[in-house]
Structure 1
Amino acid sequence: MTHPAGGVAPVSTRVMNLATFLTQAARRDPEGIGLVMGGARWSWAEFEARTDALAAALQDRFGLRKGDRVMCQSQNCMEMMQAMFAVWRAGGVWVPANFRQMPEEVTYLTQASGARFLICNAGFPGHAAACRAGCPELEVVLAIGAADFGASVQDVTAEFMGRRPQVAAVERDDPCWFFFTSGTTGRPKASVLTHGQMAFVVTNHLADLMPGLTGDDASLVVAPLSHGAGVHQLTQVARGVKTVLMPSEKFDVATVWELVREWRVSTMFTVPTILKLLAEDPSTADADTGSLRYVIYAGAPMYRVDQQKALAVFGKVLVQYFGLGECTGNITVLPARLHQAEDGPEARIGTCGHARTGIEIQVQDEEGREVAPGQTGEICVIGPAVFAGYYDNPGANAKAFRDGWFRTGDLGHMDEAGFLYITGRQSDMFISGGSNVYPREIEEKILTHPAISEVAVLGMPDPLWGEIGWAVCVPVAGATVGEADLAEWLDGKVSRYKMPKRFLIWEALPKSAYGKITKKMIREELEARGLIA
């Protein structure tokens, strides 16, 4: 069979079911430790058997059909990882929510995804009740732990132990994961990730972020498995790397270092706010970090001053990547060898790295034309890691793609060598007196003040200039700094039109469920404080 143009049509688009990664790990090292949480240990063989049992129950007792969406509301736990692989094995689509979201938010996600199944941790009865009441398509609710709103995953697993499911046959473009965007500029959208796409992402993560992983490595999870950390752990399973979960949902730096020491942890996935906490916590001074090989951070750009602190503490083990959920992290990588603590021409200060393997990046103007090196435009990408589109949202898809390129909504520029520099989100840029102002540049300057720990610069309406900047600043613990001090200190470091007209001093900045500082939440807080209408 050939296409009209003469190309050969694929004989098959069948691909491996992602759950097979677990089966392969269990075959290679059945008695090796695969999953750890507190005092609990699962060998790879036990992990595989539990996954088989739950997948069989989903098919045979609860009637899961290929393509059914399965919402999950749970903090990190062993059963959450078991459920992810069981859903894939049975042919379902994994739809995880961040456990910190409110019942009405998870209800919306359940509605938007058309989920027929809900797996809900016993600690969230209000979420289960809200989803039952607000989602008529929801038919099956299972509980992780003992709860009165559904059968227990643990009990169902025990009942079906030893049973094998019918492993779902999947095509390259069959959905496997609805990866909800964080909703920083609107309601979350479901990015459709597929089995074929995710197989590429796993391979790419292992090649670009963590080359050379083996079963001797160990990975510590310090972020919610619902998003980037879940993708990271999938890559660990693919290489038989044991996964160590924090013993509770509370993030405690001293506990992190105890687990790193005990399990000789070699990889961690973090976001810049967590990496900043790890670098600055007093317990870090005495920590045994010698086993760390790859400390990966993503999810938001990291300010230079924070990057330098982390490099001073951990050495050349930091790996940065840039990539939205729609590209599953696969846009750029700045490997450990290219992280430089000292400023200078070799440091490429501010870059988020070069293109990931198999990914092409263009910085484009408003018409979709590639701009010259050094010029600012929208970062656009193509490649096998780009998602299949937003679920049931043709309007969003039309805006997100242009001539086959995915439009990230991030602004930046590229240098002659292909290194990318993020200026900020399109929605963050403001125009003051006819000139474009990119908040990130100003934030970087403010953060070099020794008394400032965090900052966010926003554009606010102004009758004379159109928009002006406000800087919301958080001092270092114990430090005192005033608006006049910051204005005087910043004078001469940025152009006059970029100078914030107000400096607000807060005790903390609001953050999203993923630890990101979002301008949307800061605006909401400004409104709540009566500072803007």
Structure 2
Amino acid sequence: MQFTQGLHRAVQQKPDEIATICGERQHRFSDLRDRVARIAGLLSQLGVRRGDVIAIQALNSDRYIEFFLASSWLGAVANPVNFRWSAAEVIYSLKDSAAVALFVDDQFASQGAAIKAQTPSLRELLFIGDGECPTGMRDVEAALPGVAPIDDAEVGGDELFGVFYTGGTTGAPKGVMLSHLNICSSALSLMAEGSFPEGVIGLHAAPMFHLGDMMLIAGVLLRGGRHVAMPMFRPELALQAIARHRITDLLLVPTMLQALVDCPAIRDADVGSVRRVMYGAAPVSEALLDRAMLALPGVEFTQVYGMTEMSAVMTVLPPSMHLPENRGSGRVRSAGRAAYHMQVRVVDADDRELSRGEVGEITFRGPNLMKGYLNKQDASAAALRNGWMHSGDMGYMDDGGYLFIVDRLKDMIICGGENVYSAEVENAIGSHPAVLSCAVFGVPHAEWGELVHAAVILKPGAELALDSLQAHCRALIAGYKLPRGLEIHETFPTSGAGKILKTELRKPHWQGRERAVN
């Protein structure tokens, strides 16, 4: 299995159909293959060889898809850079991966020279923007007509496809090494679940540097569907793209879904083409799900629980479990069941599998399991014990094989010797009528070790006091789990995947202290 396989298949079957759309620009599948073969040829002329790492720092566009395909076509290794990172973090990932070339767009071209000056391995800066090419960079678009296309190197299987860096919120980012088989097996598993059917038109609104959107890229590519890219997610612009391009499939994190359904423009928007919404990073509340199903009638919702180390797909909660008539089981609050290519176990500290209903660490294995962390043998060995990926997530499995996530191991609060799972408290707080979003974490306490603390974003015009919140939660959770502190926020810090960064929220409370469970 190779990443370019979907492109070859589409060119064979429908060469004149539209493959990519970005703004006013569009390319047919035959055009896309020619461009990819020429970009790979340009890289080859510049001395990039099979196994070399090439990076990209850019907003979403059709050029991003071309980058991934050209890298694979040449047999190089892709490093998509988080565009939210500081220059120091970008330089770290380029040095760590020994990247030899960096693609940049208009947004990031101004940083290119400084980054190259501090990255010894970096030989080439390649400009893929729409404006004027900066001095010292190579203009890819201007160069392509004079470059001969090269043949696909047909690299695939267990060979390295890319290095995807984790967020680095608790230290230096780790480069997750993923093979062609890793990526393709996860995409095929989603297709077996019913995602990316014939005629799919996917909107790339989530960041394309993130592995979540990679599943949309890979799945739509394997099916031979159409890719529509928007630079960054903006709900009103996403609604315009849906109407204009008849989008069928959306991949969103819950914060994006919430912004979309709460956007005033959705009342008059034409969203009738949308058939499927895939979401991940976190479950959605039933209240948000109800609003989303009302705003997007007839749409199938699928939750995917994944992590970079497992090529983004581990368990799937299918559309049927989101329907009102099936919510009585409570499984809409689960992460679903093992995807078709996965094995899942919940284990204790000695890696012994636990009985159904018992809380432990969730572990995984399958053909999507990473090759390891680049240049980090100790971290790789710690995560990949006994052939299983140890996720760091705590959870339990019910009798039907549905997996329930109760907390991150590092986010579990230990209060007076009792384990408090933040997700349980968040579910209780999230049901308060004044609360729009919340995050729960532990803060230090001399006697109890830690106390439960809540950070909350309120609905417009709402007010909330701690005693009122405690009274609401007391009917839902045990007394020792009640929040003992409350802080109100306008927004929360989030990662590239849209996850709330509890490390940042927790930081002011732990200044000068060391947290044992971190």
Alignment TM class, shorter chain as reference:
over 0.9
Is residue 2:490 matched to residue 1:503?
Answer: no
* Local SS of the residue matching 1:170: coil
Shift in Å at residue 125 of structure 1?
Answer: 3.3
2:73–2:155 CA contact under 8 A, matched in 1: no
Tell me what 1:378 maps to: 361
CA distance in 2, matches of 1:408, 1:531: 26
Shift in Å at residue 343 of structure 1?
Answer: 7.6
* Local SS of the residue matching 1:203: helix
Tell me what 1:53 maps to: 38
Summarize the Cα distance change of 1:63–1:453 in structure 2 as closer, same or farther, 3 Å threshold. Answer: same
Shift in Å at residue 526 of structure 1?
Answer: 5.6
Summarize the Cα distance change of 1:176–1:87 in structure 2 as closer, same or farther, 3 Å threshold. Answer: same
2:442–2:506 CA contact under 8 A, matched in 1: no
Q: Deviations over 1:259-315 (max 9, x none)?
A: 212222111111111111112222222233222221000122333432333234334
Tell me what 1:200 maps to: 185
Is residue 2:449 matched to residue 1:462?
Answer: no
Tell me what 2:108 maps to: 124
Tell me what 1:150 maps to: 137
Tell me what 2:313 maps to: 330
Shift in Å at residue 488 of structure 1?
Answer: 3.0
Tell me what 1:301 maps to: 283
Shift in Å at residue 171 of structure 1?
Answer: 5.0
Structure 1 window deviating more from structure 2 (177-186 vs 96-105): it is 177-186
1:56–1:165 CA contact under 8 A, matched in 2: yes
CA distance in 2, matches of 1:209, 1:179: 26
Shift in Å at residue 414 of structure 1?
Answer: 0.2
Shift in Å at residue 89 of structure 1?
Answer: 0.3
Shift in Å at residue 419 of structure 1?
Answer: 0.5
Q: Deviations over 1:47-74 (max 9, x none)?
A: 1111111111111x21111100011100
CA distance in 1, matches of 2:446, 2:468: 26
Shift in Å at residue 182 of structure 1?
Answer: 2.1
CA distance in 2, matches of 1:352, 1:224: 22
CA distance in 2, matches of 1:44, 1:363: 44
Tell me what 1:178 maps to: 163
Shift in Å at residue 347 of structure 1?
Answer: 4.3
Q: 2:67 aligns with which of 76, 83, 86?
A: 83
Structure 1 window deviating more from structure 2 (182-191 vs 222-231): it is 182-191
CA distance in 1, matches of 2:107, 2:239: 27
Tell me what 1:345 maps to: 328
Is residue 2:99 matched to residue 1:99?
Answer: no
Shift in Å at residue 156 of structure 1?
Answer: 2.1
Q: 2:150 aligns with which of 165, 178, 181?
A: 165
2:55–2:103 CA contact under 8 A, matched in 1: yes
- Aligned residue type for 1:299: A
Structure 2 portions without partners, runs of 5+: none
TM-score, with length taken from structure 2: 0.94
Is residue 2:443 matched to residue 1:451?
Answer: no
Tell me what 2:272 maps to: 290
- Aligned residue type for 1:58: L
Structure 1 window deviating more from structure 2 (196-205 vs 383-392): it is 196-205
- Aligned residue type for 1:167: D
1:452–1:475 CA contact under 8 A, matched in 2: yes
CA distance in 2, matches of 1:308, 1:531: 42
Shift in Å at residue 17 of structure 1?
Answer: 3.3
2:278–2:304 CA contact under 8 A, matched in 1: yes
- Aligned residue type for 2:145: A
Q: Deviations over 1:7-31 (max 9, x none)?
A: xxxxxxxxx4312321221222121
2:49–2:76 CA contact under 8 A, matched in 1: yes
* Local SS of the residue matching 1:104: helix
| Aligned Cα root-mean-square deviation (Å) | 2.1
- Aligned residue type for 2:50: K
CA distance in 2, matches of 1:412, 1:309: 27
Is residue 2:469 matched to residue 1:486?
Answer: yes
CA distance in 2, matches of 1:118, 1:445: 46
CA distance in 1, matches of 2:416, 2:110: 49
Is residue 2:245 matched to residue 1:274?
Answer: no
Tell me what 1:21 maps to: 6
CA distance in 1, matches of 2:104, 2:327: 50
Summarize the Cα distance change of 1:306–1:184 in structure 2 as closer, same or farther, 3 Å threshold. Answer: farther
- Aligned residue type for 1:282: P
Shift in Å at residue 257 of structure 1?
Answer: 1.9
1:176–1:194 CA contact under 8 A, matched in 2: yes
* Local SS of the residue matching 2:379: helix
* Local SS of the residue matching 1:427: helix
CA distance in 1, matches of 2:357, 2:171: 31
Tell me what 2:49 maps to: 65
Shift in Å at residue 316 of structure 1?
Answer: 4.7
Q: 1:260 aligns with which of 242, 254, 271?
A: 242
* Local SS of the residue matching 1:352: coil
* Local SS of the residue matching 2:85: coil
- Aligned residue type for 2:192: A
Shift in Å at residue 344 of structure 1?
Answer: 4.8
Q: Deviations over 1:391-411 (max 9, x none)?
A: 111011111012111101111
CA distance in 1, matches of 2:228, 2:61: 10
1:142–1:149 CA contact under 8 A, matched in 2: no
1:333–1:356 CA contact under 8 A, matched in 2: yes
Summarize the Cα distance change of 1:235–1:69 in structure 2 as closer, same or farther, 3 Å threshold. Answer: same
Shift in Å at residue 329 of structure 1?
Answer: 2.0
Tell me what 1:232 maps to: 216
TM-score, with length taken from structure 1: 0.91
Structure 1 portions without partners, runs of 5+: 1-15
- Aligned residue type for 1:276: Q
Q: Deviations over 1:204-223 (max 9, x none)?
A: 12112516x12x32111111
CA distance in 1, matches of 2:363, 2:28: 42
1:224–1:230 CA contact under 8 A, matched in 2: no
Is residue 2:226 matched to residue 1:242?
Answer: yes
CA distance in 1, matches of 2:226, 2:214: 14
Is residue 2:403 matched to residue 1:420?
Answer: yes
* Local SS of the residue matching 1:486: helix
Q: Deviations over 1:188-237 (max 9, x none)?
A: 211111122222222112112516x12x3211111111121123112101
2:444–2:450 CA contact under 8 A, matched in 1: yes
- Aligned residue type for 2:468: D
CA distance in 1, matches of 2:15, 2:242: 23
Shift in Å at residue 527 of structure 1?
Answer: 7.1
- Aligned residue type for 2:144: T
Shift in Å at residue 523 of structure 1?
Answer: 2.3
Q: Deviations over 1:456-491 (max 9, x none)?
A: 111111111111111011111222222333233323
CA distance in 2, matches of 1:262, 1:492: 47
- Aligned residue type for 2:349: E
2:236–2:260 CA contact under 8 A, matched in 1: no
Tell me what 2:343 maps to: 360
2:277–2:299 CA contact under 8 A, matched in 1: no
CA distance in 2, matches of 1:147, 1:284: 40
Shift in Å at residue 167 of structure 1?
Answer: 2.0
- Aligned residue type for 1:261: A
CA distance in 1, matches of 2:205, 2:190: 18
